[in-house]
Chain A
Amino acid sequence: MKVRWSKLLLRALLCTCVISGASNALAQTVKIGWLSSLTGPLSSAAIAENQGVQLAVEEINKSGGILGRQIELLTRDTAGDPTKAVNFAQQLAFSDKVQFVIGPVNSGEALATTPILARAGVPNIVIGALDELVDATKYPRAFRAINTNLQWISTANNYATGTLKKTKVAIIADTSGYGTASARSAEQLLDKAGIKPVYVVLVDANKTDLSDEMSKAKAAGADVVMPWSAATGLLGRLLNARGDMGWNVPVVGHPALMAAQIRKLLNKPEYWDNTFAAGYQSTTYGADGKLPERTQALVDKVRGKLGGGEIDVLFWWVALGYDTVKIIEYAAKTAGSFDPAAIQKVLENTKDYRGVYTSYSWSPTERNGFPDANMAMNAASTFKDGSFKPAPR
């Protein structure tokens, strides 16, 4: 019996050592909070971005971490709910005491969390496109990695009016805050170009048929239809209405027009033709049919993770997720510490930091890091591995 007790004592001592060792290792981690709407509406983008985030964390940890510390990723599923996003942001910033926060994914959630993270002084990589989300004065440590909504709209507008030479524009947006604001911005930008849309309408995102709206656009003489909505159901129904009517008007607008889910909702595959959306140079095939080198390298890595099959999500989501972690790595390594003020200083003096999704530049007065030059127009029906051929010029 004595022998057994001594064995138990030895084991207990060993356990204590292991636990204290583990807690020391944990203390040496760098904590990154990841606010991701992995479930709930509009989860497709979050799931794809999560692939990129996970891959980058895995790579960095394998190569020794950041400044010798392993990354501890604290993923919080907000389910697309701003209330949950707020609770998680507070928890990450004040209880978990993370050094960085990525996200949230949806602009509606980010509107609520950005002020909280700013109050906590936590560097925040913003991946929502709504223009109001960043402000160098109010939220000095929030740096946007994604393009702005205005960049999407102006790229699409320029293509419709400049390249396609269309002047009779119909704008169809959904009734969400995003759709309403985007329709207004699109109208204002067109107005600056001297074009007054012939038809503007807001539609409930769950409306089951858009024949009425498309018939009205046609009757108004529209020569291009520009939808502003991220709701794939609505966009699918819009393209179905156009196809069923036999009206071959070009549809030019939001990137969601190119999502793989849309393809599945179409009555006929050819209904995706003559559909163009704002995209990116990094996920556009060149004249030689190849993607930019960095994008291709990431495609190969992700394909390996997915078991070698076709990538059926918009690949820029993955690239954006990957870059957010890489930006954090770059900032901490350049600053030589995880001090938030030092991180802010590095990021606001960043010029052309090369990621996969784009090259990022921020300044003391500018928190939008995505350059206009990296925007592109894509042809939706050319979807291959989440990337596209350029729209015809």
Chain B
Amino acid sequence: MFTVVVSGLAIGMLYAAVALVYNVMFSTSKVLSVTTGHIAMLGGVFGAWFMTGLHLHWVIGLAGAIAVGALFGGLTELLAIRRVLNRSDEHLWLLSTLALATMVQQAVGLWWGTEPRPFPRLIDQTFSAGALDQKFWLPIALAALMAIGLEVFYRRTLFGKLFLAMSEDAFAARARGVSTDRIRVLSYVLSGALGGLAGFAAGQLTFAYFALGLTLTLNGFIALAVGGLGSNVGALIGGAALGLLNAFASHWFGGSYQQTIAVGLLMVVLLLKPEGLLGSKNVRPV
């Protein structure tokens, strides 16, 4: 049973990490980019390539995965977000980010191959550690660290406060001299770096697999919606709840009901508490 809990928590924390990436992007742009899961996929694939293809040390592999994620985050803002937001208030970003996500997935499939490939061990450890294996604990630890780091970033740094200011009211922030375009690019680069990091940390769990992006995009969104949009603690709780629910659904009822239960969780939360467990209600004074 401990293995079920730990394996559920591990994949749940990967979803939580993706939800945190959503939060960073959303804070400055009010966009939920479909490319979010694909950033994590790139972190896993490029991390594996740096280490097994180019035979680089895992520290350089990690730095490379973060750099690739940051680059793709910046490209997402440049190609799929900026022009759409400048020209329209409609949710056309859904289409533009979906198009970019599809192109990236196809490109990775052509280059990397469409079968999952191994992700190397990062820490010297035997394979008989069971629930204590690094493939479970790395994503769990990383998601927790990411949430703490983001809280510190938002509360203690100038850029973090600028993110918050844009999150509260982008027009007011601009009126007070904040370069909202630059801050938005910065937030996408940061979220890309975090996504790359998350994909790298979970690489042993997921393998380096080109088709992982859409699964992570969907489940990361469910974790975010359940925990509450904008809340980092909520993202952790939402991710953990989703991962554990999936694991126990599979344990008790088999894999046939796993996805149904995940989407069912989203429906229940949206019906009972549409703003999510820790989300704040948007009140518009009239």
Contacts and interface: CB of A to CB of B under 8 A. Distances in A.
A and B pair up: yes
Interface of A: 39-44, 174-175, 180, 201-204, 206-209, 211-212, 215, 232-233, 236, 240, 243-244, 246, 259, 261, 264-265, 267-268
Contacts of A243: 127
B207 A42 contact: no
Contacts of A264: 117-118
B264 interface: no
Nearest to B206: A208
B127 A208 contact: no
30 contacts: A39-B106, A43-B109, A175-B255, A175-B258, A202-B256, A203-B250, A203-B254, A204-B250, A206-B212, A207-B255, A208-B7, A208-B10, A208-B206, A209-B7, A212-B7, A212-B247, A232-B115, A232-B116, A233-B116, A233-B209, A244-B130, A261-B115, A264-B117, A264-B118, A265-B116, A265-B117, A265-B118, A265-B207, A267-B127, A268-B127
Given A43-B109, A209-B3, 7 more contacts: A39-B109, A39-B110, A41-B114, A43-B113, A207-B255, A208-B10, A261-B116
B127 A244 contact: yes
A150 B127 CA distance: 36
B127 A44 contact: no
B285 to A, nearest CB: 46
Given A209-B205, A267-B127, A42 B254 contact: no
Interface of B: 3-4, 7, 10-11, 106, 109-110, 113-118, 127-128, 130, 133, 136, 205-207, 209, 211-212, 215, 247, 250-251, 254-256, 258-259
A209 B258 CA distance: 14
Interface of B, secondary structure class, is helix
Contact of A40 (B3, B109, B207, B212): B109
A44 B114 contact: yes
Given A207-B250, A244-B128, A41 B211 contact: yes
B216 to A, nearest CB: 10
Q: When A and B form their complex, which 3 residue pairs have the shortest distance between CB atoms, in order from nearest?
A: A233-B116, A204-B255, A203-B255
A168 to B, nearest CB: 19
Contact of B215 (A180, A203, A206): A206
B71 to A, nearest CB: 24
Among B110, B115, B259, the one with the most A-chain Cβ atoms within 10 Å of its Cβ is B115
A243 B126 CA distance: 12
A236 B116 contact: yes
A308 B215 CA distance: 39
B5 to A, nearest CB: 10
A267 B207 CA distance: 12
Nearest to B106: A39
A211 B3 contact: yes
Contacts of A203: 250, 254-255
A211 B211 contact: no
Contacts of B10: 208-209
Contacts of A240: 127
Contacts of B247: 212
Nearest to B3: A211
Nearest to A37: B114
A246 B4 CA distance: 18
B205 A208 contact: yes
Given A42-B114, A212-B4, A204 B258 contact: yes
B108 to A, nearest CB: 11
A236 B206 CA distance: 12
A164 to B, nearest CB: 26
B130 A44 contact: no
B259 A44 contact: no
Contact of B256 (A175, A207, A233): A175
B43 to A, nearest CB: 16
A175 B205 CA distance: 20
A19 B215 CA distance: 51
Given A207-B250, A268-B127, A174 B255 contact: yes
Contacts of A201: 254-255
B257 to A, nearest CB: 9
A212 B3 contact: yes
Contacts of B211: 41
B136 to A, nearest CB: 8
Nearest to A232: B115
A180 B130 CA distance: 29
A208 B205 CA distance: 6
B207 A211 contact: no
A137 B134 CA distance: 56
Given A244-B127, A244-B128, A233 B255 contact: no
B129 to A, nearest CB: 8
A217 B215 CA distance: 28
Contacts of A209: 3, 7, 10, 136, 205
B130 A211 contact: yes
A268 B118 CA distance: 12
Nearest to A215: B3
A243 B136 CA distance: 17
Nearest to B126: A244
B85 to A, nearest CB: 31
Contacts of A39: 106, 109-110, 114
A236 B117 CA distance: 10
B109 A202 contact: no
A201 B9 CA distance: 22
Contacts of A215: 3
Contacts of A207: 250, 255, 258
Nearest to A271: B127
A227 to B, nearest CB: 13
B215 to A, nearest CB: 6
